[in-house]
Structure 1
């Protein structure tokens, strides 16, 4: 996550909280160190975001604070509209609905002269394969990813046999018209990729996995890079 995105996320978390939230709670939710969190809070205060509090006591965003108006170029808006259209065509039902809602909110938040860029975009995705149905609620999977919950899944292999595994879901990877859950598998003691159309059932367990999600993703990326064949000169 880039720093600008993280600063925005901090504001969103503070806006959602009715009381003070400690630096440790913020750092854990953002999966960053306390040192980084304190630097971010100092930057927000330097930008005159009305945050009350300090390290060790907790932080509160004063009431009445509004984010700056949305300022995007035509190309940025078209990129957002194209991305939303791709998600609507390939994502699960809930994510597709969210993508359509995003386009509607964008069209309301931008100046009237730019609305045709969103509503009548010059770019659009074209599906060449039939959309694959999934046997679970994608909202539950995304919740587990965001909040670091362990999952118990029933997974069907190529021969049609179903086995059950405990996994730590890290992200959903899109490859053409196929989606994969990238996860650490407790059963196999390593990173595995699970095709979502083979997941027969999915249960969120009560406890969270102990590792930082960002660190696991970095480790997965490093291991994946080592397995890639060298580029031909």
Structure 2
């Protein structure tokens, strides 16, 4: 492994750790000596990488640091292209357009050889399923980002309708259906709502009382327990 590749790996490892991580842990993950690790940290800091910390206390990479596009590997480009192409075929028009725009922005700043790899990428996405939403998923995504309550009319599998007020915190994308994951005030529990069974969406300005990250974490625990 070249030194430049090693420095890139170090940046990627630091990105995976949200809290300070010791130099020995980093050195162990990279398979290098602690002295080499300290030299690499100093090199990255000298090149402008916002790495905070010191020997004995641990290191953390401040959010927002961007890697130059030439650092993409072949497989990373394939992942970006495949993911963007899949999203671009979804019925959520705003998200679809955003995926196409993001791919164009990435292509615009790539070096010529990598741009050619992107344009010639042969990982293809098949035709999308006939998913039909009765609501604007863009409003759902905005409510999740802003932690706002959503009201809507929901029809179950048997056609029975009920009014719901929920705290949305996740949106699942499946081949033929989209699912809103939320805390339901009427049921006082986590519920999954198929977007094709929702109508009369009311995107409120009411902030729900918990953080979406906390709801997501709790839901995962509950979901694991229920699936046993």
TM-score normalised over the length of structure 1: 0.67
Unaligned runs of 5+ in 2: 1-12, 19-44, 51-64
Unaligned runs of 5+ in 1: 8-43, 50-65
Contact 1:170 1:217 in 2 (8 A): yes
Quote the offset at 1:48 in angstroms: 6.1
Q: Aligned equivalents of 2:146 and 2:185: distance in 1? A: 18
Contact 1:185 1:191 in 2 (8 A): yes
Asked if 1:218 is matched to 2:217, the reply is yes
Quote the offset at 1:226 in angstroms: 1.1
SS at match of 1:90: coil
Asked if 1:95 is matched to 2:106, the reply is no
Quote the offset at 1:4 in angstroms: 2.9
Q: CA deviation digits over 1:158-186, x for unaligned, max 9?
A: 23333210000011112332210010000
Alignment-derived partner of residue 77 in structure 1: 77
Please show how residues 157-196 of structure 1 align to structure 2 within 5 Å.
157-196=156-195
Alignment-derived partner of residue 25 in structure 2: none
Asked which structure has the greater CA Rg, the reply is 2
Q: Aligned equivalents of 2:198 and 2:143: distance in 1? A: 15
* Cα distance change on mapping 1:116 and 1:220 into 2, 3 Å: same
Count matched residues: 175
Q: Aligned equivalents of 2:118 and 2:163: distance in 1? A: 44
Moved over 6 A (4+): none
Asked if 1:110 is matched to 2:110, the reply is yes
TM-score normalised over the length of structure 2: 0.69
Please show how residues 44-83 of structure 1 align to structure 2 within 5 Å.
67-70=66-69, 71-83=71-83
Q: CA deviation digits over 1:201-222, x for unaligned, max 9?
A: 2111121011111111011001
Contact 1:90 1:131 in 2 (8 A): no
Asked if 1:153 is matched to 2:152, the reply is yes
Q: Aligned equivalents of 1:98 and 1:183: distance in 2? A: 24
Please show how residues 20-39 of structure 1 align to structure 2 within 5 Å.
none
Contact 1:106 1:118 in 2 (8 A): no
